[in-house]
Structure 1
């Protein structure tokens, strides 16, 4: 049997909160790399879905919030299970547990408490603060104004805030006016490209970054490590490239890690951001690792991303 080939960090992997548009108290938590396709499955428009969302009297469902930025399926599944089972998850310390089971199943195991939107969002806030997940490169997306308002209420009620580098993004329909100052707007695009349908499902947003890195390594312009100053022999180590546009700062992955963690002056093992010694901009560890894994594990994906369009297609695009 051939050894399993490691894959690059996916362009998108999410954990989502689903809500029935017919009975808003009916909620569901799941994970997927393709939210639009998964929503169609839950609504019976495509094969798949889950038994709990198959009742026609609860359809259609809507995705009201997602958490994105997971490095792969396993990571997303861990977070999904913890969010769906906060009364059992070992990721949540016993003294911090919000949801507790008061009933038991026939086999004696604790029965899952009936979730509400407030309880889910409160546990989401808690999970983003526990050591297991607190430093992951995650972002929150809200597609319903009232759900985002509930999230803000949870933030105000929480004892501790979530990390300030976690982005909170909102995209509400035109009939929902909610210009929260603490959020970044995703925009109010036409229905076909609104909300989950506007999320990038491929590596297109990384095209400039990936092209920069490929040029550096193909033409052996690695130079010296921007952190330790040692020469970087081509093809002889794991080198990471600054995530800032226009900067060609390259360094040993271990040096980047120590440099970023050193700036935080703590005992963490997973960096988040840090100042690039070359351009002085804030380099993002999660973006750097996605580019690195794409470069060393995703040759086909990179070739596809950087492939030049055919002349006829390119001319049609320029005429349009």
Structure 2
């Protein structure tokens, strides 16, 4: 069994790329002997794509990452030593150790315990029953401290459900597993509408923490996500209230806290995500209210990818798992590559000119002739030195 740990903002599309149903994907996964690929474990909830790439590199290089102490490492770094027969120089090349499923899951557990990632709003979902059992077995044997309460680890129902005749009949329309994931902002649609209503209807609003006026446009203002509670807060006011209630002096960003108005537990990541979408997500908001349509040539509902999924830069073109130097990104992203395919180079036609009885070689005639830059004519102005007399 081959195990791989890539990162992607769209799991369904990534799986289709690995299995040859969509263009793109890593070179190593293109081997027919390794297909089909199955997504068995998903770590999600990262605050940004850059954060996901950082976690991916640390997971793939747990033997060298600084996020895991040397004493706690499951796999140790090793290197190949080569001696030049001519000069006798010794060269050491670091080699990534081979890791099986147990080592991968063990390294995942170590990273979720590390101080760098333990306060991130991460969730772990398993889509294969045997992989989830391996996780439980490794946890019972090696782990003493449990994960932070905010980090949810669960087994997806699709991993335990048995195929029934009625389910098979509805398999083309029913979504389950990774196909049921919301890779957009559909879960924030109601909260976004609520915030817009609050700021549009009220002439002025005050923070429920400091009771001072908040910006009318909602800049740096958080809105309680509880239904029926219209409390608004300054960003720094609610952050301070959550951190004081938590009692963690070393923390800079809260994870959760009770709303000062209604008392319901709120997740800081969800509040911040709605604020970011409201202030800077104009394109994403348009896509949120755009009617979704399926692309041509879809195999099933589980493999469908709508037009809205192509919005924004897609970093899953970069397969960090196949490179030792993870930070060398390509010059173009996947979106740019699609744009290039949509605008092909001009068609060049060839024709033969005749002059008398002599034939002229074929001339390339293009329907797209860019204007060649021309240099401006140099003008030498008259100088007073032209009328000067030579002194002998």
Cα distance in 2, alignment partners of residues 44 and 308 from structure 1: 28
Moved more, 295-304 or 135-144: 295-304
Structure 1 residues 295 and 237: alpha-carbon distance in aligned structure 2, compared to 1, 3 A threshold: closer
Structure 1 residues 163 and 140: alpha-carbon distance in aligned structure 2, compared to 1, 3 A threshold: same
In structure 1, the partner of 2:48 is: 72
Matched, 1:114 2:98: yes
Q: In the alignment, which of 116, 140, 143 is matched to residue 127 of structure 2?
A: 143
Matched, 1:273 2:249: no
**Displacement of 1:80:** 0.5
Work out whether residues 105 and 111 of structure 1, in 8 Å CA contact, stay in contact via their aligned partners in 2. Answer: no
**Displacement of 1:221:** 6.2
**Displacement of 1:146:** 1.1
Cα distance in 2, alignment partners of residues 297 and 150 from structure 1: 41
Give the RMSD, CA atoms, in angstroms.
2.3
Residues matched between the structures, number = 275
Q: Equivalences for 1:5-154 in 2 at 5 Å?
A: 24=1, 26-104=2-80, 108-154=92-138
Structure 1 residues 265 and 304: alpha-carbon distance in aligned structure 2, compared to 1, 3 A threshold: same
Instruction: Classify the secondary structure of the residue corresponding to 1:47.
Output: coil
Cα distance in 1, alignment partners of residues 269 and 175 from structure 2: 26
Moved more, 290-299 or 155-164: 155-164
Structure 1 residues 174 and 100: alpha-carbon distance in aligned structure 2, compared to 1, 3 A threshold: closer
Matched, 1:199 2:175: no
Instruction: Classify the secondary structure of the residue corresponding to 1:104.
Output: strand
Q: Deviations over 1:202-225 (max 9, x none)?
A: 211111111111111222366221
**Displacement of 1:115:** 1.2
Cα distance in 1, alignment partners of residues 153 and 236 from structure 2: 30
Structure 1 residues 54 and 221: alpha-carbon distance in aligned structure 2, compared to 1, 3 A threshold: farther
Work out whether residues 206 and 213 of structure 2, in 8 Å CA contact, stay in contact via their aligned partners in 1. Answer: yes
**Displacement of 1:233:** 3.6
Structure 1 residues 198 and 221: alpha-carbon distance in aligned structure 2, compared to 1, 3 A threshold: farther
TM normalised by structure 1 equals: 0.79
Unpaired stretches in structure 1, ≥5 consecutive residues: 1-23, 178-187, 310-320
Cα distance in 1, alignment partners of residues 5 and 31 from structure 2: 16
Cα distance in 2, alignment partners of residues 31 and 228 from structure 1: 41
**Displacement of 1:261:** 0.8
Q: Deviations over 1:2-54 (max 9, x none)?
A: xxxxxxxxxxxxxxxxxxxxxx2x11110001101111111111111112212
Work out whether residues 210 and 302 of structure 1, in 8 Å CA contact, stay in contact via their aligned partners in 2. Answer: no
Moved more, 288-297 or 109-118: 109-118
**Displacement of 1:229:** 1.8
**Displacement of 1:117:** 0.9
Cα distance in 1, alignment partners of residues 159 and 35 from structure 2: 22
Moved more, 109-118 or 128-137: 109-118
Structure 1 residues 190 and 168: alpha-carbon distance in aligned structure 2, compared to 1, 3 A threshold: farther
Structure 1 residues 55 and 263: alpha-carbon distance in aligned structure 2, compared to 1, 3 A threshold: same
Cα distance in 2, alignment partners of residues 88 and 162 from structure 1: 23
Cα distance in 2, alignment partners of residues 104 and 221 from structure 1: 69
In structure 2, the partner of 1:312 is: none
Cα distance in 1, alignment partners of residues 202 and 288 from structure 2: 21
**Displacement of 1:108:** 1.8
Moved more, 99-108 or 81-90: 99-108
Q: Deviations over 1:155-203 (max 9, x none)?
A: 32213211111122322546667xxxxxxxxxx9947512111101221
In structure 2, the partner of 1:232 is: 214
TM normalised by structure 2 equals: 0.65
Cα distance in 2, alignment partners of residues 307 and 219 from structure 1: 25
Task: Select the structure of larger CA radius of gyration.
Answer: 2
